[in-house]
Amino acid sequence: ITYSIDGGDFTATMPQITNAGTYTIIVKASMANYDDATTTVTASIAKAPLSITADNKNRQYNVANPALTYQNSGLKGTDTLTLIGLTPATATTAVLTSPVGDYPITVSGAAETANYALTYNPGTLTITNSTAAMISSVRFAISASLNSDLTSLKSASGTPVLATSVN
């Protein structure tokens, strides 16, 4: 028994197909005093699904964005993202002074590879209040009030503050 893939030479080694695609395999049986018997088989190998998902991140207001990272799911065998030629990129619309809230983290890259059907999934960057910024704001408001009029001392939130003068 010999085999041929896509019209190539016949060989006694059974074909090992590892890449996605459609292949025509001819199997031929030869025996002395008999006509050769052949059969043709079409083999279709689908691309494997591969998901790249941005990791969710958190940071406080007025603090630099953390490193944006991602995870992958679906690589086969010994494949790595580098080996299949994929270098995903991450990005967010949040900047240092973005207000408290949620911001998208996107991950992007090639639309496809030879053996994988790719899906990119976003993550979320959550910006929270900065305790240090709030304390600094209150200190500034108190300091400004102390320098002007002790009788109208209020916190940054507008709450009256009891102050006494020490000489």
How many angstroms separate the first and last alpha carbons of the chain?
106
Q: Lowest-confidence range among 12-21, 81-90, 106-115?
A: 12-21
- 6: pLDDT confidence band, cut at 50, 70 and 90? confident
Q: Model-level pTM?
A: 0.66
Q: Count the Cβ atoms, other than its own, within 10 Å of residue 138.
A: 15
Per the CB < 8 A criterion, the answer to whether 141 and 156 are in contact is: yes
Task: Supply the pLDDT for residue 57.
Answer: 98
Task: Supply the pLDDT for residue 44.
Answer: 93
Task: Supply the pLDDT for residue 151.
Answer: 52
The rounded percent of the chain whose pLDDT value lies above 90 is 60
Over residues 115-162, the pLDDT tens digits come to: 999 999 999 999 999 875 555 555 555 555 555 555 555 545 455 555
Task: Supply the pLDDT for residue 8.
Answer: 86
Task: Supply the pLDDT for residue 85.
Answer: 93
Q: For the chain, give the mean pLDDT.
A: 85
Over residues 88-127, the pLDDT tens digits come to: 999 999 999 999 999 999 999 988 899 999 999 999 999 9
Q: Which residue has better confidence, 165 or 41?
A: 41
Task: Supply the pLDDT for residue 125.
Answer: 98
62-71 long-range CB contacts below 8 Å, 24 or more apart? 62/96, 62/97, 62/130, 62/133, 63/96, 63/130, 64/96, 65/92, 65/94, 65/95, 65/96, 65/125, 66/125, 68/92, 68/105, 68/123, 68/125, 70/107, 70/123
